[in-house]
Amino acid sequence: MVDHIKFTVDTAEDWKSALSLADKEDYKQCMKRIRDASTYSQLQSKLWLVSEIVNLGINIDRVLLIAGWYANFINPLLVDELGVKYILNLEIDPDVIKFSYKFNKRYKMHNISEQKCFYECKLHDVMYKPVSTANFDLVINTSCEHMYPMSRFRKLNENKNYLYVLQSTDDEQWDDHINCVSGPDELAEQAELVDIMYSGTKELNNGMKRFMVIGR
Amino acid sequence: MNNILCIKWGDKYDDSYVEKLKEQCEANCSVPFKFWCFTDKPTKDWHIPIPTTLDEFYDEDRGFFWAYRKCYMFKHQIPGDNRYFSDNSKFLFLDLDVIIHQDLKYFFDLPNDKPWIVRGWWNDIHTVKQNYAKHKSTPLNSSVIVWKKGQMMPVWDHVVKHPEVVFFTSPSLDNYLAHHWYDPWKEDGGFLRGFPQGDIYSWYKGNIFPHDMEKKKIREDHKICLFNNSSQTEGVNTDEIKELW
């Protein structure tokens, strides 16, 4: 079980750099969201995700994050625990791009040969356009409750046989939870997964029930 | 040819709103124009029946208020209607709940390299950006839109290409337009351009954040006052505007 994140000196430097940017007047709208992305529950759900991938013993080099937000927790976990070499995060919020690069600068250094992983974050709404970059071993979407069902993504990228890790919730109290599901079965159904390798539910520290499915 | 458009469906507004808007336009426009009303109950020669092709994609039960019927105006040719607008036609759309203070000629004289829409200057841009990914706090308001014929076709094309996703994801037309056709980070860089500060203000929200935010104040040096109010229960209209007609 993966139960912690490695807080290295490079990680400390990157996170300080992100927080310094949030101190600036032009970005003052971002601080609350950074706090929201840095909670016990956020880390809990990412540790759960990576633990289950480790349990399944799957080799993963290239990961696509859908709406991966700042990727402040998931990236170091993917790199340190799974040895992931390339991560692409597709987001719809221009501020997120700037901050996710700050949080993950160590994966975007000048000398690629010395990096463990290469990270990119791009503006791209996956429900309107197919993914143009080459194949990925794993597609991670931990924000399914915020968007149209994943069947749409599959349809737009139908020639690609991705492995998916999806998370969602039944917590309907938030306006932006536009696509809550009743449980992992409905989550898998929405994504039209046929080969399900993991399916589970976890109550997070903030009381939210999260569902996760892994499959193709 | 200059055209002024409005749209009325359902029971939120009674016919007096259309008549009053028409009257206001006739009293406040120094250039020739034709007045049209898209309506679900056409009875007059200046009424255009609202098409229904998008109805099947709108799910009322989701609780979103999607004024998707406005999108029909953006098409080259109105579906199911044989009225023809010449290629150099200009359009000014007005919501029914507006008060016109000044000459509408201003809107037909604007540079027409891009369509124009209300940029709600009463919004705090930091809040707009903070809530952008949550599809909340939109900086745009579709109560007044200006375009030349064909200019809004990309919007129509996009909506009809992705109606399921558009209606599922965006809680309102304004929100959809702000996400796909406007850029709050580069306000001059989007497909849509906001009317400048000093043109249009909101009765319920104020004028310009943060220094001119007094609500329920008439500003006759502006061109138009808007009365739509997202904090009202959708479908409910207070008729407060009638006291100011």
> pLDDT tens digit string along B34-79?
999 999 999 999 999 999 999 999 888 876 778 889 999 998 777 6
What pLDDT score does B245 carry? 81
- The answer, yes or no, to whether residue B113 has pLDDT greater than 50, is yes
Question: How do residues A115-135 score in pLDDT, each as one tens digit?
Answer: 789 999 999 999 999 998 768
Q: Cα(B10)–Cα(B21) distance, rounded to whole angstroms?
A: 17
Interface check for A198 against chain B (CB to CB < 8 A): the answer is no
DSSP state of B99: E
Q: Cα(B133)–Cα(A91) distance, rounded to whole angstroms?
A: 9
Please name every residue paired with A49 in a beta bridge, in sequence order, or none if there are none.
none
Q: What's the CATH code, domain B2-244?
A: 3.90.550.10
For an interface test with B, give the residue of A123, A127, A179 to mutate (most B CBs within 10 A).
A127
Query: What percent of chain B is helix, strand and coil (3-state, nearest 5)?
Result: 30, 20, 55
User: Which residues of chain A does B132 touch, with a Cβ-Cβ cutoff of 8 Å?
Assistant: 92-93, 95
Q: What angle do CA B54, B55, B56 make, to 5 degrees?
A: 95
User: Which residues of chain A does B136 touch, with a Cβ-Cβ cutoff of 8 Å?
Assistant: 175-176
- The answer, yes or no, to whether residue B157 has pLDDT greater than 70, is yes
Structure tokens at B87: 């290629």
Q: Cα(B12)–Cα(B86) distance, rounded to whole angstroms?
A: 32
Record: contact B164-A152, CB cut-off 8 A: yes
- Considering only CB atoms, A28 lies closest to which of B126, B165, B171, namely B126
B interface with A, Cβ–Cβ < 8 A, is 62, 126-127, 129-130, 132-136, 162, 164-165, 168-169, 171, 179, 185
For chain A, the domains span 9-215
For an interface test with B, give the residue of A124, A128, A156, A180 to mutate (most B CBs within 10 A).
A128
Record: contact B169-A148, CB cut-off 8 A: yes
For chain B, the domains span 2-244
Q: What angle do CA B220, B222, B225 make, to 5 degrees?
A: 85
Percent of chain A with pLDDT over 70: 97
Please check whether the domain covering A9-215 is classified as CATH 3.40.190.10: no
B228 or A20: which leads in pLDDT: A20
Q: What angle do CA A87, A93, A94 make, to 5 degrees?
A: 90
Q: What integer best gives the mean pLDDT of chain A?
A: 95
What pLDDT score does B232 carry? 47
Query: B234: pLDDT confidence band, cut at 50, 70 and 90?
Result: very low
- Across chain B, how many H-helices and E-strands are there? 6, 10
